[in-house]
Amino acid sequence: MRRLEAFFLILALAAAFLAAGDTTSFAGQPAEPIYQEHCATCHGVDRLGGIGPALLPENLKRLRKKKAAGVITNSSPASQMPAFGQVLDTAAINGLVDYIYTKLPRVPDWPLEKIRASHVIHTPPKFLPEKPVHNADPLNLFTVVETGDHHVTILDGDTFEPLWRFPSRFALHGGAKYSPDGRFVYLASRDGWVSKYDLWGLVPVAEVRVGINTRNIAVSGDGRYVMAGNMLPHTLVVLDAGDLSPVKVIPVVDGKGRTSRVSAVYTAYPRNSFVAALKDIPEVWEMSYEDDPEPVPLGFIHNYREGQEEGMFDRGPFPVRRIWLDDYLDDFFFSPDYDDIIGAARNAKNGQVVNLTVRHKIADIDLSGMPHLGSGISFRYKGRLMLATPHLKENSVSVIDMKTWKTIKRIETLGPGFFLRSHENTPYAWVDVFFGKNRDAVHVIDKRTLEIVKTLRPVPGKTAAHVEFTRDGRYALLSIWDMDGALVVYDAATLEEVKRIPMKKPSGKYNVYNKINLSSGTSH
């Protein structure tokens, strides 16, 4: 813990050093020299990040320009950076904002050498404990990402008391991933850092920077590898799950030389593979992590000396098996047997079902309004397996028969939703109303009737989102997405509030047991 705190203290010390500059007015000067003088030490001369985060439009999507100007001028509670309002005038600050929101002329590179150079071991294996240093159930812990002040809280799922709170990397992705035994948690930041923490010893283990803008990570079913999908550069990066040392960088490029950002990467557990959806190429990639994977045919070349066609193969490790589609596929959902993936089509009218065995699309689903299939759930209704998903641009939850791929019902909600969650031991599914004037509402849907049975408003006027369950499904934990936010604990049977835990804008929170046992009520 002390190593990690000392590391993040460097951020504050470096920022304080920068704040000691003169107070000359910079009106009319180009922004690039101002950036190099006052920002490059922490954020990199090329804006790709250093001890501070990368300052690129792809990394700043959650920060509006007006708010960015305010952070430069006055700093903020969630920033290690000092206030520059006494150092730079308004024109210079506005110029800096425009500069950092300008795309680079080409896709930046982050090769294997840079990944290796960023690798940090915080706690060597010999210093990790042989048993938990706490009395909590190791499989009923929650990892809670508090985006408000860039911290993570490890919460006891029985007592609902925090066990450990530690500083995280900037703009951490909310989706925690666990080792198969539940001992280690892996987290990724939008800024490209992948971090590993020990939930027994409550200490950081290792970190490495895999890219400049990272979408998400996945842990292999055998616990040996972590794969990171990057938005910048256009790569997939394989890490050794033990110490996060880099194993392989896979350029994301099609047969015509076009590169692509990664929309999402997940683990297909029974298939011993990673599966990635691509944002700029209409393909899905499957990559085996078995020791001796079958070579994947890439096509044929003509051998003019022998006068015949010869096959080209990707012989691995992690060979890329491509599935070509007629439309782009963004974030996706696995069928319970992991044979099919279900994702939204870019046309905003359909979902699409892709079978990983036959390697092509097998069905379209009538799903308009940008379904958020990455947060979908499955359950049985009248003996048939159903998929349910909220919509980012429609006031409804769609329920789909996973045999016929027909939409059997649209459940009307008070607004577009972001997360839908449930558990095998509860008859209810919970969906937020993340967007719009009713963002403080959460609907409880009875999976037996497909009807809303209750609407909760835990804090009127503040966004309520992302419900997750304890390992036994007895309690549901809901986030209030606000700097003065909280986790609100509900009895999952009576729907009554049990406890409220103050937190700084808690976003993702995931239960160890439910994640490693692939609960149908949460994301994998």
Domain that holds residue 39: 2-100
Distance CA 135, CA 157 (A): 12
Helix (H) or strand (E) holding 34: helix 31-38
> Which residues partner with 259 through β-bridges?
253
Closest CA to 54 of 211, 222, 249: 211
Token output for 116: 């290796």
Q: Considering the domain boundaries, does residue 150 fall inside one?
A: no
State whether residue 404 is helix, strand or coil. coil
Which residues, 6 or more positions from 199, have their beta carbon under 8 angstroms from its beta carbon?
132, 138, 141, 154, 182, 183, 184, 185, 512
28 has pLDDT over 80: no
Q: What is the mean pLDDT of the chain?
A: 87
User: pLDDT class for 23, splitting at 50, 70, 90?
Assistant: very low
pLDDT, tens digit, for every residue of 305-340? 444 444 566 777 999 999 999 888 888 999 999 999
| 186 part of a folded domain | no
What percent of the chain has a predicted confidence (pLDDT) above 70? 86
The CATH number for 34's domain is 1.10.760.10
At 47 the pLDDT is 77
At residue 10, does pLDDT exceed 80? no
At 48 the pLDDT is 67
Long-range contacts of 245-254 (CB under 8 A, 24+ apart): 245/116, 245/119, 245/208, 246/112, 246/115, 246/116, 246/119, 246/208, 246/210, 247/317, 248/317, 248/318, 249/111, 249/112, 249/115, 250/287, 250/318, 250/320, 252/276, 252/278, 252/281, 252/285, 254/281, 254/283
Model pLDDT, residue 61:
62
Count of other CB atoms within 10 angstroms of residue 347: 11
Task: Report, as an integer, the average pLDDT of 36-56.
Answer: 69
DSSP conformation class of 83: P
Measure the CA–CA gap between 185 and 182, rounded to whole angstroms.
7
Instruction: Report the Cα 430 to chain-centroid distance in Å.
Output: 20
Q: Contact at 8 Å (CB) between 397 and 411?
A: yes
24 assigned to some structural domain = yes
For residue 234, what are the contacts with CB-CB under 8 A and spacing of at least 6?
A: 107, 251, 252, 253, 259, 260, 261, 262, 280
Do the domain assignments include residue 88?
A: yes
- d(C-alpha 179, C-alpha 343), whole Å: 26
Please report, for residues 8, 75, 246, 476, 487, the alpha-carbon distance to residue 505 in angstroms, rounded to integers and kept in the order given. Answer: 20, 18, 32, 18, 9
Place of tokens 């239960």: 511
DSSP code per residue over 274-314: EEEEESSSSEEEEEE-SSSPPPEEEEEEEETTTTEEEEEEE
Cα dihedral sign, 510-419-377-234:
negative
What pLDDT does 524 receive?
85
Least confident of 67-76, 107-116, 370-379: 67-76
The CA distances from residue 60 to 55, 83, 334, in Å, are 7, 19, 30
Give the pLDDT of residue 309. 40
Count of domains observed in the chain? 1
Rg of the chain taking only CA atoms, in angstroms = 24
pLDDT band at 493 (very low <50, low <70, confident <90, very high): very high
pLDDT at 104 over 50: yes
* Structural domain contains residue 73: yes
| Cα 184 to Cα 519: distance, rounded to the nearest angstrom | 18
Please check whether residue 29 lies inside any domain of the structure: yes
Amino acid at 224: R
For residue 183, give both structure tokens.
């001992």
Show the tokens assigned to 435. Answer: 């967007």
Quote the CA–CA distance of 19 and 411 in Å, as a whole number. 54
DSSP percent split of the chain into helix, strand, coil, nearest 5: 15, 40, 45
- Spatial distance between the Cα atoms of 444 and 104, rounded to a whole number of angstroms: 45
How far CA 48 is from CA of 103, 171, 210, 211, 216, in Å, comes to: 11, 15, 12, 9, 18
Residue 300 has pLDDT above 60, yes or no: no
Looking at residue 375, the DSSP 8-state letter turns out to be: G
Does some domain include residue 12?
A: yes
Whether residue 14 lies inside any domain: the answer is yes
Lowest mean pLDDT among 107-111, 115-119, 283-287, 478-482: 107-111
Residue in this structure with the two tokens 């500083």, named with its chain if needed:
167
| The pLDDT value given to residue 295 | 80
Measured CA distances, 51 to 175, 204, 246 (Å): 23, 18, 20
User: Is the N-terminal amide bond of 233 cis, ω within 30° of 0?
Assistant: yes
pLDDT tens digit sequence for 113-161: 999 999 999 999 999 999 999 999 999 999 999 999 999 999 999 999 9
Q: Model confidence at 45, in pLDDT bands (50, 70, 90)?
A: low
Q: What beta strand segments (E) does 36-176 contain? A: 120-121, 141-146, 151-156, 162-167
